[in-house]
Amino acid sequence: MLLLACLLLATSGWAQAQTNPTRGRWEIGVDALSLFEKNTFAPYSLFGRYLLNPDGNKKSHFRARIGYNFHSYLDTVTRGNSHDHDSREFAFMALVGYQREFSVFDRSSLYAGADVSFNRDFVETLWDLPNITGFETVQQRIIGLHGVIGYSYSLTQNLRISLESSVSLSHRYYRYQEDVFFYFDDGTPMSGRNGHFGSTRIDSKINPFHQLLVTYKF
């Protein structure tokens, strides 16, 4: 449905672009890797590009992406497939960057660029077993620097698909916290765990599928 909508928009916008030379500097779209659960960033996101040199032979763009992920599980099952806990997850990401073409063909181009990204992820688990109560939380914050190389192909004058690969360097902060209590069957306290753990590390990664973008130009 998304691709069909983009095709309809591209067809309707073709004639308008001929009479309005200021059109075509903005692009907006989505990362199709979310359909295959292979995306590097939050799955629910919006990507945008802005053309900086409309008269240049090799185009340069400012680029940005913002997204989120949210999942909540409420365990109300009393028998059968029960997970014995409630949980919720929230993730947020933002990205800004720059790209410039280095090879231009009839309907396609190769480009290189760089992005800076910020990701935050929070997961909370609430235990509700008869003899276990308490919570566990996991938090992650990731700041990444990504060198990007991409191939872009224009399906129509307004609709474009771009496949990107990247080399990334990331600073990752991880924090785990728990406050869990255990009880005997008669309800008297038995023991508990209370504490937290944190760590930081730097990761490097080569990602052949950084983003698969489907964008509409207007």
CATH number at residue 71: 2.40.160
Number of domains in the chain: 1
Percent of the chain whose pLDDT exceeds 90: 57
pLDDT (tens digit per residue) in 87-114:
888 999 999 999 999 999 999 999 999 9
Average pLDDT over residues 125-133: 78
Is the predicted pLDDT of residue 206 greater than 80, yes or no?
A: yes
Of the ranges 80-84, 131-135, 140-144, 178-182, which is most confident?
140-144
Whole-angstrom distance, CA of residue 44 vs CA of residue 142:
18
DSSP state of 158: S
Strand 60-73, strand 26-31: pairing: unpaired
- If one counts every other C-beta atom within 10 angstroms of the C-beta of residue 31, the result is 26
pLDDT score of 23 more than 70: no
Q: Where are the beta strands (DSSP E) in 130-157?
A: 132-154
Secondary structure (3-state) at 163: strand
Could you give the CA distance from residue 97 to residue 115 in angstroms, rounded to a whole number?
Answer: 4
Higher pLDDT, 17 or 211: 211
CB–CB of 158/14 below 8 Å?
Answer: yes
pLDDT, tens digit (0-9, with 9 covering 90-100), for 157-204: 999 999 999 999 999 999 999 888 888 877 777 877 888 889 999 999
Domain assignment of residue 148, given as a range: 2-217
